[in-house]
Amino acid sequence: MIVAIVALIGSAVNYDMNWYESSKPSFSPPDWLFGVVWTILYIMIAFSLTFAWTSAKRIQKRKLSLLFGVNLAANAIWTIIFFGMHLPLLALVDLAIIWLSTLSLIIFTRKIDKRAAWLLVPYLVWVSLAAVLNAAFL
């Protein structure tokens, strides 16, 4: 449920996309691909969270909640910072938080459920691409 809320935050807000369209790098993937990829990624994140949560010991659940909470909160506000506020430097800092927390999640969930960790690897790759695209706006 929490993953769906994060996905809705990013997709529900309408922004003036002229700023992005006029400045996006030539190597940016086609616009239609973003929705497809994010839908798949959010499903994978939800499964990862489910697998990790159901397999975690009680003592691990607190750290799992913190890591997923930080990651998903940073994920939810990136769209607002980048598209809404047009602050690519701050958005890049936010992406660094997303990237580091995703890596931390992969490392931590691997100890709990390897499926949970592997499901997050494409997310880390996509966030890496997003950071490159974001940096092109600096």
DSSP letter string over 19-78? HHHHH--TTPPPHHHHHHHHHHHHHHHHHHHHHHHHHS-HHHHHHHHHHHHHHHHHHHHH
**pLDDT tens digits, one per residue of 36-51:** 999 999 999 999 999 9
- Range in 3-12, 46-55, 121-130 with the lowest mean pLDDT: 3-12
35: number of Cβ within 10 Å? 10
Q: The pTM is what?
A: 0.95
Residue 108: predicted pLDDT = 98
Residue 121: predicted pLDDT = 99
d(CA 56, CA 111): 9
Q: Do 101 and 53 touch, CB atoms closer than 8 A?
A: no
d(CA 111, CA 19): 43
**pLDDT tens digits, one per residue of 40-91:** 999 999 999 999 999 999 999 999 999 999 999 999 999 999 999 999 999 9
Question: Could you give the percent of the chain with pLDDT greater than 90?
Answer: 86
Domain edges within the chain: 2-10+32-135
Closest CA to 72 of 121, 123, 112, 29: 123
